[in-house]
Amino acid sequence: MLKRHTYLVMSLLVTALFVTACSSSPTGRSQVVFRSDDALAAESARQFAEMRASIPLETDRVTIDYVHCVTTAIVAELEPEYRDLDWDMAIFDHEAVNAFAMPGGKIGVMTGILDAADTPDRLAAVIGHEIAHVTARHANERASRSPAANIGVQVVAVLLGGGNRGATYTAYEALNAGATLGIMLPFNRGQESEADVIGLEYMARAGFDPRESVNLWQNMSAETGGNDPAEFLSTHPSDERRIDSLVSEFGKTLAIMNEARANGRNPDCQM
């Protein structure tokens, strides 16, 4: 009788876990999230601090103000739950063509990405995309799908997965040597595509031009010399597919941008 009772209680707990863990992403995609947001945020803070201690920070005031201006404008347009976070940003003096955002409100930008994100609108496309990974709880979803994985490795994966290009891709692969392809990669293609859609809306709400996202990805492709991993081996959509998807959102996001600008949101961020 005791065993039966225990089994019943465990069954109810498991059922409750699945019911409470099932939710929808901002685009309506069904997702399952088990991991504690607080635990991910705490580990993100630790990894972010280690990164700031080990990689030189950008010291040029013009560059710092430029990135801060774009980032602040986008954060101001987030949902209250995320807008009110104590966001912490670091600009790393590093050649990697990469940027990332982490749970708990950590944003990192490598100076190497500024050659491709060479206008405020293009940088806004980068920042909007990376913040969207946080607001869509992609890190939580990824960690939840790999319950046996160490949470620290998961957060490092988030950190290193922003661009998945060049040195960054190699670093992640080294970190997870022997990991199963598609299980331990930072974000899957569905999450990357979703971050594109959400990020476009964020930048448009702030008054940035979503059409410049196409020029950004064309620049990104040129920066890497067309040597990206094949699409089926990468977490990111191919540049061609990504651009087609972005263009399909312009009808909606241009209307959002026009309304934002009519209401006085037209950031004056200078490089």
Q: How many CB atoms lie within 10 A of CB 58?
A: 17
Q: How many CB atoms lie within 10 A of CB 164?
A: 20
Q: Tell me how far the alpha carbon of residue 220 is from its chain's centroid.
A: 16
Catalytic member of 130, 141, 192, 201: 130
Q: How far is CA 38 from CA 129, 140, 151, 184, in A?
A: 22, 10, 12, 21
- 81 as an active site residue: the answer is no
DSSP 234-267: SSSPPHHHHHHHHHHTHHHHHHHHHHHHHTT---
Catalytic residue ranges: 130
